Structure 1
């Protein structure tokens, strides 16, 4: 596992004990991590993004950023990608906050890179399963993790996330796991969450959510982070792509500072070789397409496996 650059901890950097738990188990829950005022802005933004996606014309350039699944009763939207150019400042405010960046620096070091940003959700009444899967498989010389902010309550009887602790160390045989245990492996943990809670999960931990009768709306914002050094070693991107993604950080920090002038700001400690050139055009920085991805792991024999493949994170 990667060595850490020396940092000066704040209230939102992880403790040594929290990092140890994350490394051993592949996940960590941070209760009520996001302040209520910012949470409310994000909840409102989540409603906006869903309404936007359900009404956007297929000819609109943003249409490709909304993902839909085929259910027995028709098409259902389940994911919004590239949140920062969708007309809501709250996503950049969240990214530029010490609540997110303190965690990113704790787990990825000073040269953390925000690699993905999306909102994944289940519409009210949509209880479809997301099969056991691993988001991305990599050589594990560095940490790659997701910061999962829950905008809504998630309960065990309403499709809450299931995780299998300690499965992050290697690619898992998910067909064998499913055939033997279904949703009830003896080590499985059902992660119940409240609005404002954050789940940190290693991209290789096995996780998913079982099918339930349709329940209330459940929305989760996902920010993935990797060390710049990891990207250069493992791909699938290059130095130019890293620089373009890092250009998100200055506007994000500005948005958080403008909305929260009385809160201690995050001090960005990126090293000189990864310091991005400043850009006057914020709009260009807000969406940097991925094109290539590290492959995940899922069971292709399951009837709903395409949902897991396409959604990447549950």
Structure 2
């Protein structure tokens, strides 16, 4: 699927754009299922196990920040992960044995859909090694106006920045941190069906959606099977116990087989503790921490 040049670019820069990964009927099905889920949120008055509501959400104008764990809500999201070109990209970058950490469908509503402040995914879920990444499958065309993903090339080779504020994990970096180089940021735009990839230590964020169009992006966060979690901020898998964890792991296998010998790498780690007062989503974590916005 990926060329040698694409893999070299990802290794060096910590991100990649892959165009037209999902097209045709498969893309239209994802879009239809997603819009049906958003429509079903009209009857939801507060955030729950499926929906994270944005300010101004109501039955007349549904506004969400996120659909949580979409692969558990409708099988089409799981099928795309495990039986499409998305799977091939994951094999190329992570190897033959790949596990899913979590999924989320960020649904930036038109006219100010919530920003995601700058952060490193690694700060939320340190592992025994850092061969982890996130893919973002665009279900809408994404341009400069509707809150595209921004990344800082090469930051995956640098330090793990502090994601704490006022003594708590806040899920965002301080814009004044001397190791935060926003002037180097690259913006990733593309057609619906294209996909971004970023390494777990790559600094990234996205501005509010200032357009009159939605921005739906389906995120899969994945790891090579020999990367085992040290701690996960608010992840359900850490509440399961051994047997249920093992059973859940079988469902989270993207391809290959589990690995029972974790690979231990010399990687920088900061623990996401003490937890935010509300850590039910990155939006709530960042809001509860009172982080200073880098987006003005």
Q: TM-score, normalised by structure 2?
A: 0.70
For residue 189 of structure 1, what is the aligned residue in structure 2?
186
Q: Are 1:116 and 2:97 an aligned pair?
A: no
Shift of 1:71: 6.1
CA distance in 1, matches of 2:114, 2:75: 31
For residue 267 of structure 2, what is the aligned residue in structure 1?
none
Aligned 1:261-272 pairs, distance under 5 A? 268-270=255-257
For residue 198 of structure 1, what is the aligned residue in structure 2?
195
1:159–1:209: 8 Å Cα contact kept in structure 2?
yes
2:22–2:194: 8 Å Cα contact kept in structure 1?
yes
For residue 219 of structure 2, what is the aligned residue in structure 1?
222
Aligned 1:90-169 pairs, distance under 5 A? 90-137=76-123, 138=126, 141-169=129-157
Describe the SS at the equivalent of 2:154: coil
Structure 2 unmatched runs, 5+: 164-171, 233-237, 262-270, 288-296
- Quick one: structure 1 residues 120 and 128, their matched pair in 2 at CA, closer, same or farther if it must change by over 3 Å? closer
For residue 81 of structure 1, what is the aligned residue in structure 2?
68
Greater helix content: 1
- Quick one: structure 1 residues 77 and 176, their matched pair in 2 at CA, closer, same or farther if it must change by over 3 Å? closer
Structure 1 unmatched runs, 5+: 1-11, 253-267, 275-293
Shift of 1:211: 3.7
1:130–1:210: 8 Å Cα contact kept in structure 2?
yes
Describe the SS at the equivalent of 2:17: strand
- Quick one: structure 1 residues 31 and 204, their matched pair in 2 at CA, closer, same or farther if it must change by over 3 Å? same
For residue 235 of structure 2, what is the aligned residue in structure 1?
none
Aligned 1:290-305 pairs, distance under 5 A? 295=272
Shift of 1:245: 2.7
Root-mean-square deviation (Å)? 3.7
Shift of 1:215: 2.8
Shift of 1:99: 1.1
Q: TM-score, normalised by structure 1?
A: 0.67
2:51–2:68: 8 Å Cα contact kept in structure 1?
yes
Q: Which moved more, 1:153-162 or 1:142-151?
A: 153-162
